Structure 1
Amino acid sequence: MEVSNLNFALVLLSIAYAFGTAVMRTQKHSPSFLHSVPVVGLRKQAFSITRASLRQLFGGITTLLEGYSQYTQHDQPFAMYDLSSRQETLVPVKDVKWFAEQPDSQLSSHGVRQERHAVEHLHMGVDVPATMHFIERITGDRLTRNLDLLAQPMHEEIQRCIETEFGNDPEEWKEINVYDSVQDIVMPTMSRVFLGLPLCRDTKVVNALKRYVMALGLATIFIGSLPRLVKSVLAGLVKIPLAYYRRQTLAVLVPLIRRQLEHPAEGDSDSEQETGFLRSCAKISEKNAVGGIGNVVEPEIIAQWIMWLAFAGSSSTIIQATNLLLDLANCPKDMEVIQQLRQEAVSSLKSAEDWKDPQSFNKQVISDSAIRESLRFHPILIKGLTKEVVPSSGITLPNGTQMSKGSWVGIPVLGIHRDKRYYPDPETYDPFRFVPFRLNGELQAGTAWGSKLDAAKPTTTYLGFGYGRHACPGRWFATLMLKMILAEIVLHYEIEATAPPPQMRVIGDAALPPMSATIRPIALVKTFHLPSSAPKKIARDTKKPHSKFFSRQCPVSPQNWNLVE
């Protein structure tokens, strides 16, 4: 944590210095808006744009919600400055679908990715368009379509890591750092999927990936927040430690990948799982003929693809899981949310075979609601889906506003997620918010639901995974992992908060998880006994779980839980 705090301090100092020397010169390079688009956060004062931009360092939420209240709720767009002194127009909810349907020839994320995500400054060694194409292909072909094959190894890794992090003592509460523990659960699980056994349990491999992901995440926030003219200068300094971690990670991954591709284990029933993902990477690279994009099948290329995937997948999942556990731990005790999640898990995961079947998790309406609500309450970006106007003639917004070439257009995600019109009492985390909608029809008949209310399915008012054809391609995989982590925890542990819920901390657009927050878990036991006065049907009722009838008896074993009278 000391390294993170040091980097955070350096970010603040560097941004302040960069703004003082470069912001005013960068203004003439940024496309300007017509006067018909109101700019929020700009005051009549000296160095107004510089100061408006600097206020977004920690005041982005205030500016965004102010603009949302004044304009978005009246179906009008508004503009605000970001940390890099770029203007961005944010469209109202009624235009979100139109926005998402625009072809890349009209609105493209490429320029935004290059500048705000600092891709052109930080990512080395691979062709970016080819890599992005690979990520979409491998996520769809190997992850989303094979969740049934991935569920068992994912659960094995999650179970092992949670026991390591949370302990198994039923007599003593153990205080843990949530972010650190989640990181040590997610990274090995991702590595199990990408690299298989035994690489995912090689601490050298996992630690190398972890350090690289952390360094790249910090560098992305830092460099992406700087004005254009100083990006390349300071990126050169930031790339020194980043290049070091990159070399370390490649030095570990490349020989292992080369060995697995050239000499897969023979006679081992798990060999296909161990090398399946790597071989899928090679196959996609070899047959990647879409638009002529592709690379030769080389371990170095595959290693760097996996590093990109690890960064894109693990960083967001770690943030989401950290927020989820803190949200649940801070729920009022009289809600009995952990007990109800436990009852639901008992009902849907009755055997080892159920853990292997993703459909088992589709029956978990309370878990899905809790995850969806956490993503609503804590979006990773307070404004997002940002795209750049491509045509030289510009584009026209639905309200008639003309946007010039190079202008940025996005969506006020946090404002939509906190809008009372869509979410009553939006400032409160309610894990059961979406349950009433899901306790209808087919669900009551005991079948898996297939409605719109799915944590992995974005809508125009739920943007936790983006929206439209460019929504997060790995969202079903991520949601399954979150449900597995949650089920494994509630089946084995009670958890409680150690402090009031921390406030959301935002730097620019990025909503950071509270990295120092802790919770206290204690191990549960395996057998639940119901008093003779309790109707047997209560023990099996997932809609009205009665946790007060439960009592601890002996150390937990997830497949051997019993509900007895």
Structure 2
Amino acid sequence: MADIQQGVLHLVQDKLPLVLSTAAVFVAVILFQTFLAKNPLDAIPEVGTELGSNEKRRQAFLFNSRALYTEGYQKFKDGVFRIVTSRSKSPVVVVAPKYLAELKKLPDDVLSFDGAIEESMHAKYTLLDVGNPAIPHTVKASLTPALPRLSPALSDEVRLSFLSELPPCEGWTPIRINQKLLRIVAMVSGRIFIGSELCRDEEYLDAAISYTIELTQARGAVDKLAPWKRPFLASRLPEVRRVAERFKQADAFLRPVVEARKKLGPDEKPDDMLQWVMDNQGRFGDDSSAKLARLQLGLSFAAIHTTTMTATNAFYNLAAHPEITTDLRSEIRDVLAAHDGVMSAPALQAMKKVDSFLKETLRFDPPGVASFQRKVLRQFTLSSGQTIPAGVVIEVPSMAISRDAAIFPDPERFDHLRFYKLRQDARERGEAETAAQNQFVSVSQSSLTFGYGRHACPGRFLAANEIKMIVATAVLLYDMRLVDGVTERYPNLVFGSTSVPDPTKEVLFKRVAE
């Protein structure tokens, strides 16, 4: 045994110089990478450095993000800049819109749409179902093609919802319209998502509306936590716990509906999103009622949250500019007279002034300061030579773009005919593609609310139909104005990356003769 120990000792002594030199090289490499290697982010300028620490810049983002994005956009209009946000654990790099054409060509293993959503919505903690292919597939393959045949039914649902949710309004009546629109949008969306027999069910409406609110609250609560605290505290937040409980309640509500539908024959199946998903769920894996409940809540969040915000913004604009209502009402009446009084798909397409008004609403009050969020999974280089490293989230400053005078003359003025005139001028020049780019549903480098590229919102066609029907129906039924003493349009509330209409404000409604 002593001989063996002596032999091992000699071996170690012989190899010790090699071991030490290897360890020294390893330590040197680590030190170089940690302290001496050039950080690729150092070549990207950062806005808000004058504010001091990262925490101070994070607070500035929470309460004045628009100023930070506008500053960066104006200083680095043809380049990129960094910004400290509260949404993501990854550094955020803001890219000029001129690069969108090349960015949209990069594959998903370079730029990840789902990865950006997971971070911005804190999906790890809020349990948002990200990346499930069933929803985009069903929306593109089944929902969008079905819109022409479903438009009359949706229009009826909109009108019934207004008459049931709003009081008679025989005189000027104050209404907190955001609350009413939540229910109206939930009913109308539910007509598509879960069917006519359930879209007015109070249990469904509570689940759809409450989940939208609760998920937004959960995201906001996690936003307020410093990133290093989130792994320890986020899952214990009461807002996050409420989201988890909502999943259980939705499953309990939906399970008997799903089980009943599984027993239906081919000719008995309803024509709605729930059935389309059920028919295709086998190809996407789990077809349990719990999974379908999460999918339905995900659909409700995507539809109700964004559609209600845009519709509320539209109503605030109508109340602040009553002359717009008069102009739109004339167009709507003429269009319906030419389409047998039905808000069919062709009729909605013919409402070009309504379309322009809604697109101007998106331009003037977009739902966020940035768009085209993507997580960078592999480093790439822009045509300018600027390297974007892996691990960052990129985005485009959509709100700053929408107020750029070089793109939109007189950008601080709300012009409901702005895009109507652009379409008219383009058609007169024979530029059909340019005219099409100025439609409400169109995406371009200057209109980014619905995203850009292959991941542009697939549900925007349904959203456009719903919002047009809601606005057109309201314009036909009511006059609108601001409450007494208010002379200007209610300002939106900006918190972090989001801009939302103040849900507490009232609008005066008065029924008009039809």
TM-score, normalised by the number of residues in structure 1: 0.78
Deviation at 1:52, TM superposition (A): 1.1
CA contact (8 A) 2:144 2:461 kept: yes
In structure 2, the residue matched to 1:43 is 50
Q: 1:374 aligns with which of 361, 365, 368?
A: 361
Deviation at 1:424, TM superposition (A): 1.0
Counterpart CA distance in 2 for 1:366 and 1:507 is: 31
Pair 1:87–1:32, CA change in 2 (3 A): farther
Counterpart CA distance in 1 for 2:288 and 2:245 is: 21
CA contact (8 A) 1:373 1:429 kept: yes
Counterpart CA distance in 2 for 1:57 and 1:285 is: 39
CA contact (8 A) 1:109 1:387 kept: yes
Q: 1:303 aligns with which of 284, 293, 303?
A: 293
CA-to-partner distance for each residue in 1:124-164, whole Å, 9 max, x for gaps?
Answer: 7x6x43x2x11111111222111112212211211011112
Query: 2:173 matched to 1:174?
Result: yes
CA contact (8 A) 2:336 2:343 kept: no
Moved more, 256-265 or 321-330: 256-265
Q: How does 1:308-457 map to 2 (within 5 A)?
A: 308-331=298-321, 333=322, 336-350=323-337, 355=342, 357-391=344-378, 394-439=379-424, 451-457=436-442
User: Secondary structure of the equivalent of 1:235?
Assistant: helix
Deviation at 1:353, TM superposition (A): 5.1
Counterpart CA distance in 1 for 2:223 and 2:342 is: 40
Deviation at 1:351, TM superposition (A): 7.4
In structure 2, the residue matched to 1:514 is 502
CA contact (8 A) 1:32 1:407 kept: no
State, as a whole percentage, how many aligned pairs show the same letter: 24
CA contact (8 A) 1:328 1:431 kept: no
User: Secondary structure of the equivalent of 1:409?
Assistant: strand
Pair 1:516–1:204, CA change in 2 (3 A): same
Pair 1:300–1:86, CA change in 2 (3 A): closer
Moved more, 214-223 or 161-170: 161-170
Pair 1:39–1:154, CA change in 2 (3 A): same
Deviation at 1:33, TM superposition (A): 4.7
Counterpart CA distance in 1 for 2:134 and 2:113 is: 17
Asked which structure has the greater CA Rg, the reply is 2
Task: Return the letter of the residue paired with 2:216.
Answer: G
Query: 2:507 matched to 1:504?
Result: no
Task: Return the letter of the residue paired with 1:50.
Answer: E
Pair 1:56–1:86, CA change in 2 (3 A): farther
Q: 1:55 aligns with which of 48, 53, 60?
A: 60
In structure 1, the residue matched to 2:112 is 108
User: Secondary structure of the equivalent of 2:42?
Assistant: coil
Deviation at 1:200, TM superposition (A): 0.9
Counterpart CA distance in 2 for 1:441 and 1:385 is: 27
Q: How does 1:21-420 map to 2 (within 5 A)?
A: 33-43=40-50, 45=52, 48-72=53-77, 75-84=78-87, 86-123=90-127, 128-129=130-131, 131=132, 133-170=133-170, 172-224=171-223, 226-238=225-237, 239-263=240-264, 272=269, 274=270, 276-286=272-282, 288=283, 294-331=284-321, 333=322, 336-350=323-337, 355=342, 357-391=344-378, 394-420=379-405
Counterpart CA distance in 2 for 1:110 and 1:264 is: 36
CA contact (8 A) 1:77 1:89 kept: yes
Query: 2:461 matched to 1:476?
Result: yes
Task: Return the letter of the residue paired with 2:404.
Answer: D
User: Secondary structure of the equivalent of 2:458?
Assistant: coil
Pair 1:352–1:264, CA change in 2 (3 A): farther
Task: Return the letter of the residue paired with 2:466.
Answer: M
Task: Return the letter of the residue paired with 1:414.
Answer: M
Pair 1:44–1:35, CA change in 2 (3 A): same
Deviation at 1:303, TM superposition (A): 2.2
Counterpart CA distance in 2 for 1:197 and 1:44 is: 54
Task: Return the letter of the residue paired with 2:69.
Answer: L
User: Secondary structure of the equivalent of 2:206?
Assistant: helix
Runs of 4 or more consecutive aligned structure 1 residues displaced over 6 Å after TM superposition: 441-444
User: Secondary structure of the equivalent of 2:480?
Assistant: strand
Counterpart CA distance in 2 for 1:32 and 1:427 is: 39
Counterpart CA distance in 2 for 1:512 and 1:450 is: 29
Deviation at 1:361, TM superposition (A): 0.8
CA-to-partner distance for each residue in 1:243-286, whole Å, 9 max, x for gaps?
Answer: 222222221122122223324798xxxx65x4543221112212
Pair 1:87–1:71, CA change in 2 (3 A): same
Deviation at 1:486, TM superposition (A): 0.9
Pair 1:443–1:180, CA change in 2 (3 A): farther
User: Secondary structure of the equivalent of 2:79?
Assistant: coil
CA contact (8 A) 2:426 2:435 kept: no
CA contact (8 A) 2:424 2:435 kept: no
Task: Return the letter of the residue paired with 1:373.
Answer: E
In structure 1, the residue matched to 2:7 is none
Task: Return the letter of the residue paired with 2:472.
Answer: A
User: Secondary structure of the equivalent of 1:43?
Assistant: helix
Task: Return the letter of the residue paired with 1:488.
Answer: T
Pair 1:33–1:117, CA change in 2 (3 A): farther
CA contact (8 A) 1:168 1:523 kept: yes
Q: How does 1:458-477 map to 2 (within 5 A)?
A: 458-477=443-462
Pair 1:441–1:508, CA change in 2 (3 A): closer
User: Secondary structure of the equivalent of 2:299?
Assistant: helix
Consecutive unaligned residues in structure 1, runs of 5 or more: 1-27, 289-293, 527-565
Pair 1:326–1:440, CA change in 2 (3 A): same
Counterpart CA distance in 1 for 2:100 and 2:85 is: 20
CA-to-partner distance for each residue in 1:431-471, whole Å, 9 max, x for gaps?
Answer: 11111123358799xx9x97222100111001111111111
Counterpart CA distance in 2 for 1:342 and 1:201 is: 28
Counterpart CA distance in 2 for 1:443 and 1:282 is: 47
Moved more, 298-307 or 348-357: 348-357
Counterpart CA distance in 1 for 2:137 and 2:211 is: 23
Number of matched pairs? 470
CA contact (8 A) 1:148 1:356 kept: no
In structure 2, the residue matched to 1:524 is 512
TM-score, normalised by the number of residues in structure 2: 0.86
